[in-house]
Structure 1
């Protein structure tokens, strides 16, 4: 991946520039208090903003020029990744052990194909790649086969062959499992682009300017540098078949290469819809897979058992004698799927004794072909997890069957795609409110601990400062973070958590007034988090009509204002609470949902003029509540000596409002600007690697937010202290101005956690893993189970970053009602 090198150098140059710039500004501010006229330092720093902006623009331009702009080079990188992915999959699935099953094919009937070449097509084994490349001028092929006939295996072998034959800059064959496509709601090209980004996430990068707002994946599809290999047309809902065929024909117009696999009956039903005009992709040659002959099956099973004459091979004698007849077992073993299952169930692996295995002759006792197939499907999972002297399993066959059955039923429901399982989507199995509640408890508790600990440190190292710990007054910033991460529900849960912690800290002197104060703070600050989230992600801001106001937010503001009034015995806090309630209820913020689309490896800056303006506006509106409380303190509180929410002095109130505005504006801007970046093309995409990358992304997000937040919030507090403000976020650092940076660490750290948890797939997976382990007794280390089922047991296969069952029939069988193994099909 040599194309990435210049971009990495540009990125490093930008990081060095930012460190030097902010380090110089911070150093100047540290030295300023020791000078006779500190204000001159601030005045001298103001003009540097223009130069910093120009330098930043030059850096961004150089980085854009370093981007890959050659579609052929991107296609070549994709080809390497595809080859590596499917070679690993073929090795894991033991496609060449002891040798590939000799699948043959013939031309499809004229009812299916649309070209004359179909009648002349015939072949077997590895000849399909040469046939496709040399004898199909339109490079369009339909592969038909009955269930278990080996369509997917044949497509994998075709994909590997075409990738090896591919010349530099040619289209890249990419396998797309159609089971996860909903043709009723999504165009084929958009779905393929999304799948490319999901499986090869570096393709999510922006394409060169000539392609508009497209991604690299979209650019490849537009330039016809992707050869779609669409597997499993029959796995789409039957009522969607005709529409799916129409969308395929529309998206892949004549001249685009195409490979499509399906069962004959489902494809014919799509060609003959009950209503409407049938769609048929033009220039599509067709082949149909033949059943296996008895001699090929016998040779394969005996060879896998060690060769004719060995004790393991002799066990197959009754079954071999029945092959080629009308016996149910002979009919079942014409399918490559059933032959593969029989091999796994009855043949010993290296190090196993054949005397410990079931007898293949039991297949002769099954009365029908369906009974034989059901028996093999039911016996496959116990066979895959049977004890092995050199490959011990952490899970018993019963545990594996229960877990795989649950996952199969989840996949049948369609939330993860009809035949896909991704660890970052498991949170769909968890009640929606649970992650928000847990986020509220975590961030509320952490906010209370961090705020209190910071005040303790300041009080310990700088006792001359009036920064008292007062644990019964801490935790408000944790509530804001919970509102940013988990919405109103998360913020309110954090508010209740903080209230309980503050009441416990004040015990035995806990009073009703204290509880009401903390509940009022919890409701108001939960609304602050919701407002920050709305301003950060909303594409437009407008005032809703009263009929469409968020009544829960408005009710929260009213209840918080009432708690303030009852707790103080006056109007303190009511203005802020009501203002926040109105903002959250009436201002539109139509941003995305708070769930991660996919795991990521790092974060990047995503600035926009509109986002910056919304962030600054949101911070000013939130700070306005403090300013109004200060200006009307005498009226609201009944006297300057009873002020709690804001100082009565107008100048001090303005500086306090500025500090609050800075904190919330920084949180809003960081939430808008810090976006996740997925793993690079060609990198490992197994679940454990993605999970580790997502964890690192969360820590990077926190560190980035801490650096930016401390600099901005601390500098604003430094200015407030320099000009004699009486309060900076609960402290008066007039005799130790550097401590304002430590005070700024608290909101920066909590904001970074909220932003990272909001975007991290890992946090939701952690909740889902614990929930499913308790509720349905799934393995706690679910990723290790999935990896083992794929890499060592052969039950699952991996397509990009998602798992599928190795056989769709096995998935359907496991998803059915629980039936004791061995009794099904009797």
Structure 2
């Protein structure tokens, strides 16, 4: 759904405008020092702010006008994307090879659904699309079937038929796997809107004004231009079935199209809750899938093996004979399309594959019960999917694949996110929750220390007339702030400890207790600064808490930092603002908001709000005010000592220093509030590795944007400070060359951009989790390649929009319950199990 040429032209015009405006302002500032009265340049630039604001408003209005979409046109583009997605999935899963399984259905019992169309609901094969459009005027259908009865496959075939029959402007059938919905926490419309936005990123755009304050996805749902195909009602927890059915009936009342699939027992239990009034969706017709008959199954398996008379088909002769009787375990098991699909995958050769090394289909005659046959086929599926192929070599053995798939199945079923899906951007839930914060603190601490030191070294090298060369044992504070912005209090403290060790190492033999204590005090205070910035950045009014609800960890950090300052300086320098930051963090923002769990990013957009801007400025004022108060009281706090001051003792210099600190922190707060990522269009046929690459690019975009805006704002503020009498800007005296203040402004802007990108881009958390799980042997090194291979080549996984799911939920449950690997038959090259689960189940049953 990427098509908006007018929107692209408007965006390009806005970019050109911003570049020209920024370049003009920067050029004026560069020329000003060479004039007799530099202040006149600033006076001339001030009125341009109003014009720039009006131009920006006009640009936003043009974007909104270019974004106006007719709901029918949006639905038409969505229909194309949905049809392309599921047509590709059907091709990967070989649903039409050698021909679709002959599934038939009958009218569901009156306990499930009662409609006037009951007599016309029986059918088979490709008739469901015609039945739905021609015999169900309300377009509301319930599909019932037992485990492995082929409900999902039938829904895919129905969805493809409906998109082919659809006329312009009509509702679009969209498949929603219910396994990822928690009805206790989220209403159905909100969940469907979120899934649409996740799978089709263009639907995250704001809807035109007449349709209210919503996204295009919300607009389509409100206009009833989406036909929900809700798959897997039985996969919801049993305790929430009645509540889920109530939400479905309330969100999709009479007149709304609906397709719902479930096992009969789970749906009947939801219709008969132990307490409360049962919810029954109105005018919902129902069909019940019939078991396959033995003759059709035998013909299908023989035809898939190459047809009667071929060597591969002759191997099925004992099984075909057993299928003639309905009393045999194999005949009972192979009435399920799932089991037929598994038998075909295990025992029939794939294209360009011989049958000589395949297991014997007669193996399915050994188990003595239907359940044992089903377990045998499930156990044999993964070894069969990963067997050696002469033309499609696999990088993973069956044992390696089994271990990985079992871990994913268990994580999906018992993980913290509770979603029955494989989504790489949610993989961090499988790693320790503190690990990303700790690593972010280490990384940003090291980068901050290096960036500050290298920048000051370069300034001193290219402008030797400037005093104050870099002292490596005094650098790294801005990295600690960035670590606090990204990883909360824990990340900031780890960053502070990292910087302390680096400074101690840089001091070498000159390291002293005073240096260590001073760096620890800085680390604690600046970690609190990062927490406060993150807390103020999200547009929430930071209401004071009761003392009993204060965050004790933040308060303790402020007290410890103040104590370290007092021990280092022998006076009260630094203690005031450390305590101020500790109380502010403890009483208002706590430990900082958690990092976002966004999907992969498609692009970065600006998200301004008046409340967010005010809170950003307020945060910068509070943080800068601590430095100002410290400077004004410097003589009192130091008790006449000649030791180092945290802030300049001169009132004017203290005011400019507070302005510099406040400007840096306000810009960081505003950037953290304004830079938001938009999820990538995962509904398109995009490889997982391409998503990762695009997500990494968004990290670069965040950094580049923050550097451009931050360096300009911070550099301009420093230029003004130097112009009107400040004695120093971030450790450098710019009296001789004021242009270097813009280079100095790069440091906080760069680190802020990194912190923003690490918070919002999913790649960073995924990289941490993948490395951790790879080291512990839970996942392969190239997880993206493994998932793509398991979907496209092995048929173990299926792709639903943005995520992977196990092709069969029964396979996922079987892997979750399995204590060990299936034992492959080494004599046949790992083609089928001779010992292991299948043999054990057969003996036990």
Deviation at 1:276, TM superposition (A): 2.0
Contact 1:519 1:560 in 2 (8 A): yes
Aligned 8 A contact 1:144 1:288 in 2: yes
Q: CA deviation at 1:246?
A: 1.6
1:553-702 to structure 2, matched below 5 A, reads 553-588=554-589, 593-639=594-640, 641-680=642-681, 683-702=684-703
What is the distance in 2 between the residues matched to 1:708 and 1:265? Answer: 59
Measured after TM superposition, the shift of residue 3 of structure 1 is: 5.1
Q: 1:123, CA displacement in angstroms?
A: 1.3
- 1:814 matched residue in structure 2: 815
Looking at structure 1, the residues matched to 565 and 2 of structure 2 have their Cα atoms a distance apart, in angstroms, of 61
2:224 and 2:781 mapped to 1: Cα distance?
Answer: 44
> 1:633-684 CA distances to partner (integer Å, 9 max, x unpaired)?
2122244843331111111111111111111110011011111112248644
| Per-residue CA distance 1:403-456 (angstroms, 9 max, x = gap) | 100111111115344521211111111111111000000000000001000011
Q: For 1:116, what is the secondary structure of its paired residue?
A: coil
1:183 aligns with 2:183: yes
Q: Deviations over 1:10-49 (max 9, x none)?
A: 1111111111111111101100111111111111111111
Conserved? CA contact 2:551–2:591, under 8 Å: no
Q: State how far apart, in whole Å, the 1-side matches of 2:464 and 2:642 are.
A: 25
Partners of 1:633 and 1:2 in 2: CA distance:
59
Give me the whole-angstrom Cα distance separating, in 2, the residues matched to 1:556 and 1:490.
13
- Distance, in Å, in 2 between the alignment partners of 1:103 and 1:504 is 73
Q: What is the CA-CA distance between 1:185 and the residue it aligns to?
A: 2.3
Give CA deviations for 1:275-319 in whole Å, capped at 9, x if unaligned: 222221111111111111112111111111111111111111100
Answer yes or no: is the 8 Å Cα contact 2:556–2:582 preserved in 1.
yes
Is 2:541–2:615's contact at 8 Å kept on the other side of the alignment?
no
Partner in structure 2 of residue 525 of structure 1: 526
- Residues 537 and 612, structure 2, Cα contact 8 Å, conserved in 1: yes
Task: Check conservation: 1:483, 1:529, Cα contact below 8 A.
Answer: yes
* 1:13 corresponding residue in structure 2: 13
Deviations 1:552-594 (CA, angstroms, capped at 9, x unpaired): 1111111111111111111111111111111111124798531
* Aligned: 1:302 with 2:302: yes
Corresponding residue number in structure 1 for 2:828: none
TM-score under structure 1 normalisation? 0.98
Q: Distance in 1 between matches of 2:128 and 2:615?
A: 58
Matches of 1:685 and 1:194, distance apart in 2 = 19
Match of 2:251 in 1: 251
Contact 2:198 2:680 in 1 (8 A): no
**Partner residue of 1:25?**
25
In the alignment, which residue of structure 2 is the partner of 1:727? 728
Task: Measure the CA separation in 2 of the matches of 1:286 and 1:130.
Answer: 15
Aligned to 1:51: 51
Secondary structure of the corresponding residue to residue 480 of structure 2: helix
Match of 2:206 in 1: 206
What per-residue deviation string (whole Å, max 9, x for no partner) do you get for residues 156-214 of structure 1?
00000000100000000001111111222222111111111111122122112223221
C-alpha distance in structure 1 between counterparts of 2:275 and 2:581, whole Å: 55
Deviation string, structure 1 residues 310-336 (Cα, Å, up to 9, x no partner): 111111110011113111111111111
CA distance in 1 between counterparts of 2:114 and 2:435 reads: 53
Distance 2:28 2:626 in 1: 32
Instruction: Kindly indicate whether the alpha-carbon contact (under 8 Å) linking 1:458 and 1:467 is maintained by their aligned counterparts in 2.
Output: no
Moved more, 656-665 or 194-203: 194-203
Q: Is the partner of 1:206 in helix, strand or coil?
A: coil
d(CA) in 2 for partners of 1:477, 1:246: 52
What CA distance in whole angstroms lies between the structure 1 residues aligned with 2:208 and 2:531? 36
Provide closer, same or farther for how the CA distance between residues 588 and 472 of structure 1 changes in structure 2, counting only shifts above 3 A. closer
Distance in 1 between residues matched to 2:725 and 2:272, nearest whole Å: 82
User: Which residue of 2 is the match for residue 823 of structure 1?
Assistant: 836
- 1:502 aligned partner: 503
The answer to whether the Cα contact below 8 Å between 1:332 and 1:372 also exists between their aligned partners in 2 is yes
Which region of structure 1 is more displaced relative to structure 2, 334-343 or 278-287?
278-287
Distance 1:560 1:228 in 2: 56
- SS of alignment partner, residue 677 of structure 2: strand
Residue equivalent to 2:825 = none
Output the CA distance in 1 between the equivalents of 2:390 and 2:77: 41
Q: Distance in 1 between matches of 2:592 and 2:303?
A: 60
Instruction: Work out the CA distance in 2 between the residues paired with 1:534 and 1:582.
Output: 14
Secondary structure of 1:514 counterpart: helix
Indicate conservation of the 8 Å contact 2:551/2:590, yes or no: no
Partner Cα distance (2:683, 2:191) in 1: 21
1:717 and 1:416 mapped to 2: Cα distance? Answer: 46
Structure 1, unmatched stretches of 5+, are: none
- Output the CA distance in 2 between the equivalents of 1:52 and 1:598: 34
TM-score (norm 2): 0.96
The answer to whether the 8 A contact 2:203-2:215 is kept is yes
Q: How many angstroms does 1:272 deviate by? A: 2.0
Contact between 2:189 and 2:251, CA under 8 Å: does it hold in 1? yes
Indicate yes or no: 2:766 matched with 1:765. Answer: yes
SS at match of 2:259: strand
Say whether the 8 Å CA contact 2:604–2:702 is kept in structure 1.
yes
Give SS of 2:601's match.
coil
Question: Does the alignment pair 1:404 with 2:417?
Answer: no
User: Is residue 784 of structure 1 aligned with residue 785 of structure 2?
Assistant: yes
**How many corresponding residue pairs?**
826
Aligned to 1:159: 159
For 2:816 and 2:146, the matched residues in 1 are separated by 21
Cα distance per residue 1:140-167 (max 9 Å; x no partner):
1111111111111010000000001000
Equivalence map 1:347-386=2 (5 Å): 347-386=348-387
| DSSP 3-state at the match of 1:508 | helix
Aligned twin of 2:91: 91
SS of the aligned residue for 1:593 comes to: coil
1:693 aligns to what SS in structure 2? helix
- CA change 1:652–1:594 in 2 (3 A) is same
SS of 2:261's equivalent?
Answer: strand
Q: Is the 1:78–1:682 contact (alpha carbons within 8 Å) kept by the matching residues of 2?
A: no
Does the 8 Å CA contact 1:686/1:801 hold for their aligned counterparts? no
Relative to 1, partners in 2 of residues 1:417 and 1:389: Cα closer, same or farther, differing over 3 Å? same
**Alpha-carbon displacement from aligned partner over 1:371-421 (angstroms, at most 9, x marks no partner):** 000000000001000111111111110010011001111111153445212
Contact 1:293–1:324 (CA under 8 A) maintained in structure 2: no
Residues 768-804 of structure 1: CA distance to partner in whole angstroms, max 9, x if unpaired? 1011112243112111111111111100001011110
d(CA) in 2 for partners of 1:819 and 1:594?
36
Report if aligned partners of 1:701, 1:752 keep a CA contact under 8 Å in 2. yes
Q: Tell me: CA distance 1:363–1:680, structure 2 relative to 1, closer, same or farther (3 Å).
A: closer
Are the counterparts in 2 of residues 68 and 74 from structure 1 also a CA contact under 8 Å?
no
State the SS of the aligned residue for 1:443.
helix
Q: For 1:801 and 1:680, locate their aligned partners in 2 and report how far apart those are by CA, in whole Å.
A: 8
SS of 1:53 mapped into structure 2 = helix
- 1:69 deviates by 3.1
The answer to which of 536-545 and 557-566 deviates more is: 536-545
Between the aligned partners of 2:817 and 2:600, the Cα distance in structure 1 is: 31
CA separation of 1:587/1:416 partners in 2, compared to 1, >3 Å: closer, same or farther?
A: closer
Cα distance between partner residues in 1 of 2:676 and 2:244: 34
Compared CA separation, residues 471 and 569, structure 1 to 2 (3 A):
same
Deviation at 1:817, TM superposition (A): 3.1
Q: Comparing 186-195 with 477-486, which one deviates more in the overlay? A: 186-195
Q: Distance in 2 between matches of 1:218 and 1:28?
A: 46
Deviations 1:585-626 (A, max 9, x none): 112479853122211121111111111111111111111121
CA contact (8 A) 1:685 1:800 kept: no
Q: Name 2:748's counterpart in structure 1.
A: 747
- The 1:681–1:811 alpha-carbon spacing in structure 2 relative to 1, beyond 3 Å, is closer
Match of 2:344 in 1: 343
